[in-house]
Amino acid sequence: MRVSRLFSHTLKELPSEAQVESHRLLIRGGFIQQLAAGLFGYLPLARRVMNKIEAILHEEMQKIGGQEVTMPVILPSDIWKDSGRWYQIGAEMSRFTDRKDHEMCLAMTHEEALTDLARKIVKSYKQLPLLVYHVQTKWRDDPRPRAGLIRVREFTMKDSYSLDTDWEGLDKQYRAHYQAYFNIFHRCGIPVQAVTSDTGMMGGKLAHEFMYLTEIGEDTIITCPSCGYTANRQVAVSRKEPLPGEEPKALEKVHTPGCKTIEDLAAFLSIPREKTAKAVFFMAEIAGTSEETEEKLVMAIVRGDMELNETKLANAVKAKEIRPAREEEIEAVGAVPGFASPRGIKDALVVVDDLIPESSNLVAGANETDYHLVNVNYGRDYQAALVTDLVAAGEGDRCTRCGASLKAAKAVEVGNIFKLGTRYSESMGCVFQDKDGDTKPVIMGSYGIGVGRLMAAVAEEHHDKDGLIWPVSIAPYQVYLIRINDTQDDLPCEKADGLYEELLEQSLEVLYDDRDERPGVKFKDADLIGLPIRLTVSKRSLEAGGVEFSVRGTGEKRVVPLEKVLEEVKETLFTLFQELQAKVVPQEYRD
């Protein structure tokens, strides 16, 4: 491809709307253009990168027995009602009615669609196991798209779905995906960690996320350097140290003027924060099995030195959505913001962390402005609807497995795998007849990778101050050929044109900068776009003996005789591919 004909252009200025480096570079390099919040147009350079990522996805899925299918991006409500998710998913699902008044939605995922296909096709155990996959556009009306392609509303996903007769079969396909995903990410040039995670709206028995560690990530992963425990903070657990046991003391009301925070309260009473009980309020939309949902005020109680984990709370109360409660909503149940207590409140769902019943004589709100209660004890002074783990694990907490200090790091989720089990097959009637003639639900798994997000993660990982540095496996082109024009001498143009044709004849991918631009402009664009190899043909290079040969990733430069350029290009590309392939190794599976 000649740069003069490329449907794209580079930018010198930093785009004001871009907040992370991958977003800046993909816009400046002429890869993407933003159309609206979370909506992007993918220009030819980006499309070529995505094509190569998708080719790797196809290869790795087919290696583990995957068969490709295509499913609609617009789905009828019936199948979502069959599974129950029509009433469980909130505003992120875009719903509408067609001209015949049928309820429809834009597909944010395809578990229901695949289960519907399977229940029409699978009848006998003899047809199982199966693995099908697709790579196509999906839509999720994310309220906070950010960071370029990291968080968008319209996206391309590779989703695969396994169908088995038993849990052992699911385990086998799950582990096959676990290894295949590491292969995919390593072939694309990014390091990842697999962590246990929340099953979320997908449901099921177990999930892993594949995390790329980066400061721009919204997820936090918790790891134990000693024993290897790793989990998303949404579900991570840590060792909770109860306070020394005490006999319950008499309840007292004390004057605590202006002490609305745990910090102020602890300082005023000269007590450690762990001797306090912290109340946090949310409004939860509780999902039902019909279109009707109930909005309920939830009061969560954790020890004052700990942080509430909203995901754990939402899962505990089976909330469709949760949001922080407003002051008037808190007051409506008889609580006083800043001085709230579970004692005496009405029409609220009280949930306490499982450490609270083991903590005696805590300080809690009195539901009276400027007053707190001293020596509050769970069971004697109040009860809860639920007692469960509610706290967020964090840096420095102790590992539940070995007691070592935990570490926290920011990350971007680039892939996920789910053991769905019978979550969809039972509710949707996807069954098979086993060898004894009994009818049983199909055991399912679901496995996803976002193509655009993966491209952005690679850009985030592989760049320098001058621009992108694409791994050879997914670079839009392999070679950036520059012709330095000299009006006094046509030889560089002739040699560059000839070299371009030779490279194409050898099926090498070349982006040929044939523009009438200054050398500096061409070199800056070459660095910005970031192809693995740069070849420069100029009067100076020819006088020095050939073509200037440069490797983008190392900065290595040398002059190669014109007749040896093809050989050098092929050898360098082979070496770069080998370096990537060396990272594709068996991975230890961790629950």
Instruction: Quick: pLDDT tens for 532-554.
Output: 999 999 999 999 999 999 999 99
290 belongs to a structural domain: yes
Per-residue confidence band for 292, with pLDDT thresholds at 50, 70 and 90: low
- Average the pLDDT over each of 183-187, 292-296, 330-334, 413-417 and give the range with the smallest value: 292-296
Which residues lie closer than 8 Å to 142 by C-beta, 6 or more apart? Answer: 38, 92, 151, 152, 153
Predicted confidence at residue 518, as pLDDT, reads: 94
Give the mean pLDDT of 440-449: 98
Output the pLDDT for position 287: 63
In tens, the pLDDT along 224-255 reads 999 999 999 999 999 998 989 899 999 999 99
Is the residue at 395 inside a domain? no
User: Measured in Å, how far apart are the chain's first and last C-alpha atoms?
Assistant: 47
498 & 536 share domain? yes
Domain that holds residue 207: 15-72+108-222+408-460
Q: What is the mean pLDDT of residues 36-45?
A: 97
Show the tokens assigned to 241: 């140290």
Confidence (pLDDT) at 17: 83
Indicate whether 215 and 171 sit together in one domain: yes
Select from 416, 445, 441 the least CA-distant residue to 162. Answer: 445
CA distance 463 to 529: 10
Number of domains in the chain: 3
Q: Is the pLDDT of residue 16 over 90?
A: no
CA dist 398 and 420 (Å) reads: 31
Q: Is residue 412 part of a domain?
A: yes
Of 358, 388, 418, the residue at which a domain comes to its end is: 388
Q: Are residues 279 and 186 in the same domain?
A: no
Question: Cα(327)–Cα(448) distance, rounded to whole angstroms?
Answer: 40
Please check whether residues 509 and 428 belong to one and the same domain: no
Query: 487 and 452, same structural domain?
Result: no
Contact partners, residue 532, CB within 8 Å, separation at least 6:
470, 471, 472, 475, 478, 479, 551, 552, 553, 572, 573, 576
Give the phi and the psi of residue 502 in degrees, each rounded to 5.
-65, -45
Asked if residue 166 lies in contact with residue 441, where contact means CB atoms within 8 angstroms, the answer is no
Q: How confident is the model at residue 591 (pLDDT cuts 50, 70, 90)?
A: confident
Whether 288 has a pLDDT exceeding 60, the answer reads no
pTM for the whole thing? 0.91
- Residues 50 and 128 occupy one common structural domain: yes
Residue 85 forms part of a structural domain: no
Domain boundary pick from 353, 388, 423: 388
**Residue 484, in any domain of the structure:** yes
Please state whether beta strands 371-376 and 386-388 pair in parallel, antiparallel, or not at all (unpaired): unpaired
CA–chain centroid gap for 64, Å, is 23
Question: Dihedrals φ, ψ of 563, to 5°?
Answer: -75, -10
Q: Given this model, what pLDDT does residue 87 score?
A: 87
Length of the chain: 591
Do residues 207 and 273 both lie within one domain?
no
What's the per-residue H, E or C state across 186-228? HHHCCCCEEEECCCHHHCCCEEEEEEEECCCCCEEEEECCCCC
Both 183 and 327 in one domain: the answer is: no
- Note the pLDDT of residue 285: 87
Tokens coding 141: 């009306």
Percent of the chain with pLDDT over 90: 90
Query: By the 8 A CB rule, do 454 and 413 touch?
Result: no
Q: What's the burial of 466, exposed, middle or buried (CB within 10 Å: 0-12/13-18/19+)?
A: middle
In a domain, 352, yes or no: yes
Cα angle at 93 between 92 and 97, to 5 degrees?
Answer: 145
Whether 188 and 58 map to the same domain: the answer is yes
C-alpha span between 29 and 35 (Å, rounded): 17
Amino acid at 326: R
What's the mean pLDDT when you consider all of the chain? 95
177 and 155 in a common domain: yes
Domain CATH number, residue 165: 3.30.930.10
- Residue 36 CA, chain-centre distance (Å), reads 21
Amino acid at 268: F
CATH number at residue 542: 3.40.50.800
Question: Crossing angle of helices 21-28/451-461, nearest 10°?
Answer: 100
CA distance 174 to 107: 24
443 pLDDT band, cuts 50/70/90, is very high
Residues pairing with 409 in the sheet? 221
Position 488 confidence tier, pLDDT thresholds 50, 70, 90? low
Sign, CA torsion 489/490/494/496? positive
| pLDDT for 205 | 81
CATH code, 361? 3.90.960.10
pLDDT tens-digit readout, 68-121:
999 999 999 999 999 999 988 888 999 999 999 999 999 999 999 999 999 999
pLDDT in tens, 166-221: 999 999 999 999 999 999 999 999 999 999 988 776 667 889 999 999 999 999 99
Q: Is residue 432 part of a domain?
A: yes
**Residue 290: pLDDT above 70?**
no
Q: Residue 489's pLDDT is what?
A: 67
User: Cα–Cα distance between 29 and 44 in angstroms, integer?
Assistant: 11
- Looking at residue 256, its pLDDT comes to 97
User: Is residue 432 within 8 Å of residue 424, measured between CB atoms?
Assistant: no
Sign of CA dihedral 192, 195, 200, 204: positive
Q: Token pair of 60, please?
A: 């790795």
Cα dihedral sign, 242-244-247-250: negative
Q: Is residue 330 part of a domain?
A: yes
- 213 lies in the same domain as 310: no
d(CA 414, CA 457): 8
Whether residues 60 and 201 fall in one domain: yes
